[in-house]
Structure 1
Amino acid sequence: MTGISWVGFDMDYTLAIYDQERMDDLSIRATIGKLIARGYPEFLRDVPHATDFPVRGLLIDKRYGHVLKMDRFKYVSRGYHGMQELPPATLRDLYHSSKLRIAASRYHFVDTLYALSEVALYASLVEAYEQHGYAVDYAKLFADIRECIDEAHRDGTILDTMAADLPSYVHKDPKLAATLHKFRSAGKKLFLLTNSGAKYTESMMTYLLGKE
């Protein structure tokens, strides 16, 4: 690194390592509150959610309400409707006869850790709605979930809760400050990359770099 003058670090999931399960649970609860405020039924608060169900790389089929797992050749190897695994015949009929066009508006690709809570909530609500006898508009449900979780991030519902209790949501690395200091001692200039607001960023970095 002798020829490098500047070194940048992303804050979220690089310097700040979140407790994914607690983050997802907080995001889901905040999103449900927003959905109910929009007129969704109150029973959503009691729907169980499997936050360990989704992983990055999944594909949402908004036409049928399915959550799909593809291999590196974009071959759908597994699929779920709600929390129920789809039989091979269904996968074959819907996804194996032609190449998937994952860029089409019908699909949504899950490529970030932030999006895992959306998938967990979507799958559980598809199942809960159908168990209660509702006809589900799968595309609208997914769009509403995404809008509500974005709103919960923007208006502070999620971030303010986290900032008030960072030790419960963020794993603090006791060697982080010393590691960054080594870069500075070697003559490197450091910068932080984040799309979080200034107040939240200051609280987070103070927590990460402060003394116990």
Structure 2
Amino acid sequence: MFLCKKLCNKCLLKINGNCLKGLFCRVLYSRHHSTRRLEEAYKLTKTKCQSKKLPRDVNPKAVFACNELDLKEVKVYGFDYDYTLACYKPSLEHLLYNLGRQTLIEQYKYPAEISKLEYKPNFAVRGLHYDIEKGVLLKLDSFLQIQFGTVYRGLTPLSNEEVLNLYKNRIIPIAYVEGHTKNAQLILQESQSKMVQLADLFSVPEMGLLCNVADYFEKNHIDYHPEILFRDIQSSIKNSHPVMHQIVGQNVHDYIESNDKTRPFFDKLVHAGKKLFLVTNSPYHFVNKVQARKPRFFTDVSRPIRVFDEQSGTHIWDRVTKLEKGVIYYEGTVKQMQELTGWRGHQVLYFGDHPYSDLADVTLEHGWRTGAIITELTHEIATLNDPEFKKNANWLQMLTQLIEDHQDCEDPEEQKILAKWMAERDRLRNDIKYVFNKQFGSVFRTYHNPTYFSRRLFRFADIYTSNLTNLLNYSVNHTFYPRRGVMPHEYISYFV
């Protein structure tokens, strides 16, 4: 075996007492290597990967920082309700799906046969885009690239060739995705872009209904307009919310996860002298607090705050000149709230589950600090912590580097070996994708890039976590520091 004699006494790359440093130098950086050397490089890289200790597990109850956040500066804590304070059970998705399907049949006169289409709870993930022009559901990364293997018409995946025939390119123009307005809200995007992103958890059953009905139309050769189908299903789900609120209100334990840590969390904040408020779209009788009708609460310039009289169940016309504890307010704008309270910028930390309607405007327009509640983190982190996943992820990193270092060879026999490496890399990438979700993979990643959803999350959220009460593990004076990431031009690390 070739030995690096100068370094053999202190080199850490040893197997059976033999130093591998010189061999790596010879194999990895030779410009004219033989097929044997390629095979040796593969074996040695594999051995190195297997000799490394696996990364430590990620704490599923941790709070993760995108931006430095000092809680000592926070005087006021604000909260959304749905999927932030109230964490719903999977049964709610089935309920919304069934109500939406019923509305399609009864109000929009869709075929009665669609009543047999059952909800598929693990089909879609949050953050996908629906192309209202072409009628496909797909996943985009942070560079607006389509992730092959995640483009569906109904329940049928499109091949890579079909995707390229449809879009002529893997990268979709930003105007097609987002429209032409800067920092456009989702409502604006729907009318100006060709795509709609389904970014909240209520949209998951909506996507399930959309794909089921489209699949029914496709298989039965029924002509339909993709945008009309989307609008009808969107309206059906939206119009089902009042009925959903009524059913959930009567059967709370069937639909909402109980969390005995919620009260201690609020008590901790109150005892520390923090102010608390709730902003929600849900009606008073359901939430028993406040109705603000987001996102207009965050975006409208002028819309008076009104008092809701609990005894009469009506809204009072009196002018609101101050906000008082225990009083229920309706509508209004965040600008008015700030004027009435004096709350400003970094003093306010607002938590929500939707990166756009909950978090984008308050951070971009008002300078509030923001926290995202992303319930999918529980499943995602459990997957990341699986030893088999860690092994595959580490080997994928090292195999990719091996391919990159040897890809410029011109010998036909060497190119065959490289083709085998590429095929193995493709299998690994698909294996890593499937363990999160068989159709669309991880909410946070495409094969190697962050998803479009991740990009928006990291831009608009200072911190994010799987459950609000995870903050009980931190003091009210804690500072969250973002991890120093590795830029492409900085040092290389094989391991995540």
| TM-score, normalization by structure 1 | 0.88
Q: Are residue 70 (structure 1) and residue 151 (structure 2) matched?
A: no
What is the rounded CA distance, in whole Å, between the counterparts of 2:119 and 2:213 in structure 1? 9
Code of the residue aligned with 2:275 in structure 1: it is: K
Unaligned runs of 5+ in 2: 1-70, 180-192, 290-496
Aligned to 1:210: none
| Residue 96 of structure 1, CA deviation | 4.7
Code of the residue aligned with 1:110 in structure 2: it is: L
Code of the residue aligned with 1:149 in structure 2: it is: I
Code of the residue aligned with 2:282 in structure 1: it is: S
Who wins on radius of gyration, i.e. which is larger? 2
Secondary structure, in 3 states, of the residue corresponding to 1:44? Answer: helix
Aligned to 1:128: 216
What is the rounded CA distance, in whole Å, between the counterparts of 2:205 and 2:142 in structure 1? 23
Q: Are residue 15 (structure 1) and residue 103 (structure 2) matched?
A: no
What is the rounded CA distance, in whole Å, between the counterparts of 1:139 and 1:111 in structure 2? 18
Secondary structure, in 3 states, of the residue corresponding to 2:278? Answer: strand
Residue 199 of structure 2 is aligned with which of 71, 94, 111? 111
Q: Are residue 44 (structure 1) and residue 114 (structure 2) matched?
A: yes
Secondary structure, in 3 states, of the residue corresponding to 2:129? Answer: strand
| Residue 113 of structure 1, CA deviation | 1.0
What is the rounded CA distance, in whole Å, between the counterparts of 1:145 and 1:83 in structure 2? 16
Q: Indicate conservation of the 8 Å contact 1:27/1:149, yes or no.
A: yes
Aligned to 1:79: 151
What is the rounded CA distance, in whole Å, between the counterparts of 2:274 and 2:140 in structure 1? 42
Code of the residue aligned with 1:86 in structure 2: it is: L
What is the rounded CA distance, in whole Å, between the counterparts of 1:58 and 1:92 in structure 2? 18
Aligned residue pairs, count? 200
Q: Indicate conservation of the 8 Å contact 2:119/2:205, yes or no.
A: no
Q: Indicate conservation of the 8 Å contact 1:23/1:169, yes or no.
A: yes
Bigger drift between 6-15 and 158-167 goes to 6-15
Identity among equivalent positions (%) equals 27
Aligned to 2:279: 193
Unaligned runs of 5+ in 1: 204-212
Secondary structure, in 3 states, of the residue corresponding to 2:152? Answer: strand
The CA RMSD measured in Å over matched residues stands at 1.7
Code of the residue aligned with 1:184 in structure 2: it is: V
Q: Which has the higher contact order (CA 8 A, sep 6+)?
A: 1
Residue 151 of structure 1 is aligned with which of 229, 239, 253? 239
Residue 35 of structure 1 is aligned with which of 97, 104, 111? 104
| Residue 137 of structure 1, CA deviation | 1.4
Q: Indicate conservation of the 8 Å contact 1:76/1:96, yes or no.
A: no
Code of the residue aligned with 1:144 in structure 2: it is: D
What is the rounded CA distance, in whole Å, between the counterparts of 2:243 and 2:283 in structure 1? 14
What is the rounded CA distance, in whole Å, between the counterparts of 1:196 and 1:33 in structure 2? 22
| Residue 103 of structure 1, CA deviation | 2.2
